[in-house]
A and B are shown apart, each in its own frame.
Chain A
Amino acid sequence: GQSLEQPSEVTAVEGAIVQINCTYQTSGFYGLSWYQQHDGGAPTFLSYNGLDGLEETGRFSSFLSRSDSYGYLLLQELQMKDSASYFCAVRDLENYGQNFVFGPGTRLSVLP
């Protein structure tokens, strides 16, 4: 089976740094992605890690350790607009070759 785990909620203040963790169990693995979803909006792509290590895109960074089946999203210099739900997703190429499985999501609240 496939499963991903994330914390359900995280709260931080403006300007702070927050890390959202994701652990996964899949029958196959082809990369870890992160998506942001504001209330009432569509999920939007943030980052992708196919190999171990850190990927940086502006204030957001994402990390992957395939040996630990673990990754995280790091958000720096938090802004109020970062309040949203964040989903990790794993691409499983062994199950018909194309399934993107999403985690349950982490709701981030940024306080002033």
Chain B
Amino acid sequence: GAGVSQSPSNKVTEKGKDVELRCDPISGHTALYWYRQRLGQGLEFLIYFQGNSAPDKSGLPSDRFSAERTGGSVSTLTIQRTQQEDSAVYLCASSLSDSGANVLTFGAGSRLTVL
């Protein structure tokens, strides 16, 4: 697509429920990133994909968080048994390759509110 598309744009859920957030990167972009941004805060790195593999999972906050990417395109970030501290905007970004690209293109984000 023309840009990075994320869905849902807003998600309100109850504590303890599972949520899935989706990211559709720019066509041809092989690198994909997930970041978390709490209100008024910076961007916290979660995970990075090159193709379908995730060489860097160091940022996932707990084992309740997981992510996958299929076909080198769409990625899903899953949060199980959501907690109130998971409330944040989850941003996805993509870039052309893992070596020469220095520009991340971000989606508009998925705002998650855990009640």
A27 at the interface (CB under 8 A from B): no
Q: What is the chain A residue whose CB lies nearest that of B35?
A: A102
Known contacts A42-B91, A43-B91, A50-B102; is-contact A100 B108 (Cβ 8 Å): no
| A104 touching B56, Cβ below 8 Å | no
Q: What is the chain A residue whose CB lies nearest that of B49?
A: A98
A112 at the interface (CB under 8 A from B): no
Question: B31 to nearest A CB, angstroms?
Answer: 6
Given the complex of chains A and B, what is the CA–CA distance between A41 and B50 in angstroms? 25
Known contacts A98-B31, A98-B48, A98-B55; is-contact A43 B43 (Cβ 8 Å): yes
Q: What is the chain A residue whose CB lies nearest that of B103?
A: A45
Question: A3 to nearest B CB, angstroms?
Answer: 11
State which size class the interface on B falls in: 20 to 34
Question: A106 to nearest B CB, angstroms?
Answer: 10
A101 at the interface (CB under 8 A from B): yes
Interface 1/0 per residue, A93-106 and B, CB below 8 Å: 00111111111110
| B42 touching A104, Cβ below 8 Å | yes
Q: Which A residues contact B (CB, under 8 angstroms)?
A: 31, 33, 35, 41-45, 48, 50, 87, 89, 91, 95-105
Q: Which B residues contact A (CB, under 8 angstroms)?
A: 31, 33, 35, 41-43, 45, 48, 50, 55-56, 58, 91, 93, 98, 102-109
